[in-house]
Structure 1
Amino acid sequence: MIAIGLEGSANKLGVGLILHPDNGGPAQVLSNIRHTYVSPPGEGFLPKDTARHHRAWVVRLVKQAIKEAGVSIDDVDCICYTKGPGMGAPLQSVAVAARMLSLLWGKELVGVNHCVGHIEMGRLITGAPNPIVLYVSGGNTQVIAYSSQRYRIFGETLDIAVGNCLDRFARTLHISNDPAPGYNIEQLAKKGKRLVDLPYTVKGMDCSFSGILAAVDALAASWGLAGEEKEGEETPATDAEGNPLPTRADLCFSLQETIFAMLVEITERAMAHVGSKEVLIVGGVGSNERLQEMMGTMARDRGGSVYATDERFCIDNGIMIAQAGILAYKTGFRTPLEDSTCTQRFRTDDVFVKWRED
């Protein structure tokens, strides 16, 4: 079976094709193409602009993905698309494209939960059988464990997602959004040397990031670090007593260390609860090397290991939608044309994971 997946829940439009051999062999990624809408430094991406980008690019990405996969339209068994969660207008644009392809090609639709797509792609690439999952991205932050054909949410953010926290601080510092604000924060944090005290907010199994963002924004403003980077900034500013103030790199370093420590804490608690020694990190923030390093230290102390993927499969992509979709399709799941809607709120634990056996 071959499935094509369309992803467009945020600023990344992805199209991918995956092959599941009839003999039960390992799945093969035939193509995985992505195009990102990049907004100017200091700005986020608006839903209407992102949706316009997706509509402009979706046809050429579908053509390119099919050509790269070396298959014909007749070879495709189903069309998988992101049903949610995500930003409304971009989701609608991709859903319309999926319906158009379904009618044009005469293929059945499969609506896919974005979060489950990340999990199933992570399991496929890493081979992790049944890990605790830390799902961290621009719109979601969840600690998840599988049980009784559901992905159960053990803990999550109480306000904004961890990726959104990083992205918004990048806007405060006018850091470039190309290729991604979180990536540029990570590179700047590697130059940081001073750990600034920031709020650490873990409430049971849940986290809160809005207070940390407000605190680090206030520090950046008070120290004259907000806004565009100034010439000569390699020479740290000083306070009234002549002591050097933290730099932009120090603030990025401190923000990462604090929020990642929070994520490691709630993940370790989930591992202890279910008796697991494996952690799978998925979502765009999951490609952060420092997060992987901190999680790895914790897992090794428990005699366990960490599974993660690179940016090809961590960051939103079409192949993860194709993978989760074809797994559901093989169990008989279909999305009728009249039900091929999208929703901004579609929880991970709402999905019946029929393709997994306890």
Structure 2
Amino acid sequence: MVCSVAVATIYVAQPVLARIGRELGVPESDLGWIVTAGQIGYMVGLVVLVPLGDVLDRRKLIGGQLLLAAVGMLVAAVAPGLWLLLIGLAATGLFAVVVQTTVAFAADLSTPTERGRTLGIVTSGVIIGILGARVLAGALAGLWGWRSIYLTLMLLLVALSIAVLNQLPADRRSNRRTYGDALTSLGHLFREPLYISRGLIAFFLFASFGTLWSGLALPLAAEPWQLSTAQIGLFGIAGLAGALGAARAGRWADIGRANPVTGTALALLALSWIASGQATWSLWLVVVGVIVLDFAVQVAHVSNQTLLTNAYSGQTSSTIGGYMIFYSLGSALGATATAMIYSTSGWTGCAILGASFAVCGLLTWTLSRRTVTRTRHDDGYGSDHTDETPKAG
């Protein structure tokens, strides 16, 4: 629930972008900044705040960050113009990295053989938040306007903060680091081949994901469909079906199949755009494309996180935070580029963009797989070893 609500704060604007733009007088080409503001705050939080999870009591840290995210939501809800809205969303994004602190906490509470399954469940909560936000946003905006979305999320964040402090288990780690050590170890990770390859896959994965979900509302609200915000939000249900269908991804990772499963997911991601690109004439094909895309994203994302938390188990917060920097950059690129391309090339141009991101992710996986295979042979491994590199301390 924490992951679902926190991540929803970043993506909830996507199905109502056109409505916000009309009310605040924002040009169509600038609408992407409403989503990007939260992503920028999120990226800063990944670097500055997530390493605190390796330093502080994570139960108290999660509770505090939820409250501060609620303040950002309140600012967004009452914003009279674009700039204050962007400030509120950026502040919320900064503290929405509570998601990564929660994911790392869950990983540490699991045994190594169950870690993939646990991450699959927790990450399902993240995907539910990303996609369920669209359904919630469409319904609330249709009833009470887009500001009611942010007020509702503010109340949920406050309630969750209270629940976390009362119900989460105590953080009893004895091997906590200093903040300086946590930041240093995060920097060291960016020299690790496994980390870079999985990070680049995440970058292209979520750039493609961001392209679909940042831009899909635009052709659906235009001719010939002219769907309402509530109707557009219902497409999130199709995405939920795909994402929840991938819940088994964690189990695949636990039995050593994370690497081939990732490649298959990236291929499906690229193919999904053949269907999603038909939004101007077939809503059913869009539904198929959405289901396949979200299934593929969930599978690859869980596999990546399982590999990384197993490889760098002594610094899970920094590990997840660093990996999600790639995610945040990819999502921001997808959101910003989609708004610009749609204004010049329409949805066809956006579909080509999203498919290109997916193909780049697949190429990255292919190149890293060759490197992994050579490394395995050099090390004497003949089977599908946990995948790539020795653990870092």
Same fold (TM over 0.5): no
Higher helix fraction: Structure 1 or Structure 2? 2
Q: Give the greater-gyration-radius structure (CA).
A: 1
TM-score w.r.t. the length of structure 2 is: 0.28
TM-score w.r.t. the length of structure 1 is: 0.30
Higher strand fraction: Structure 1 or Structure 2? 1
